[in-house]
Amino acid sequence: MIKESKQEYLIRVAGPGDAAAVTALFKESYPLLMSQAYDKATLAAALEVMTTANPKLLASGTFYLAESRVGQVVGCGGWTRETPGSGMVHGHVAHIRHFASHPDWIGHGIARSILALCEREARLAGIKQLECYASLNAVGFYGALGFDSVGSIEVRIGTGVTLPSVLMRRTV
């Protein structure tokens, strides 16, 4: 089990038993943080799907949770070799997946710490490049951590719903 201690929180590998806590975090985080970048109709349609924890990610061994000292899930995120939506694997490329921070915990370095852990673990697994489908509100975060914008994309979220996003890349 991977553990990383920080002053206010602990990062650990997530598992299938964390689904309810991750879903609750998404429901607290995404509507608030994404409302600055998306219109209400687009966001409402996307949130129906986006705010449910992905069982495959939870079972991957490469999805992480940050928990406060009292056990509250305050952040999450991970990586996979599989491209989101297609399941395709492309050589030494990994994909950053489903990051979220609880609104009360933004600015505590949680997402940055989880991303650093993802990068270390991906590098150990032979990954040379990270990609992410950044929501419009997250482009600045990923850019500050060395990701370059490749271009605008439309991410399919469920049936018939697309979310304007930006494909971003970074060498590890």
Q: Which residues share a beta bridge with 155? A: 163
Q: Residue 89 carries which DSSP code?
A: B
Indicate whether 31 pLDDT > 90. yes
Structural domains of the chain in order of their starting residue, each with its CATH number: 3-171 (3.40.630.30)
149 pLDDT band, cuts 50/70/90, is very high
7 pLDDT band, cuts 50/70/90, is low
Q: What are phi and psi of 13, to 5 degrees?
A: -70, 135
87 pLDDT band, cuts 50/70/90, is confident
CB of 79 within 8 A of CB of 126? no
Q: Match 């989101």 to its residue by tokens.
A: 84
**DSSP assignment string, 27-85:** HHHHHHHHTTTS-HHHHHHHHHHHTS--HHHHTSS-EEEEEETTS-EEEEEEEESBPTT
4 pLDDT band, cuts 50/70/90, is very low
* pLDDT tens digits, one per residue of 102-118: 999 999 999 999 999 99
Q: Average pLDDT, whole number, for the chain?
A: 93
CB of 128 within 8 A of CB of 93? yes
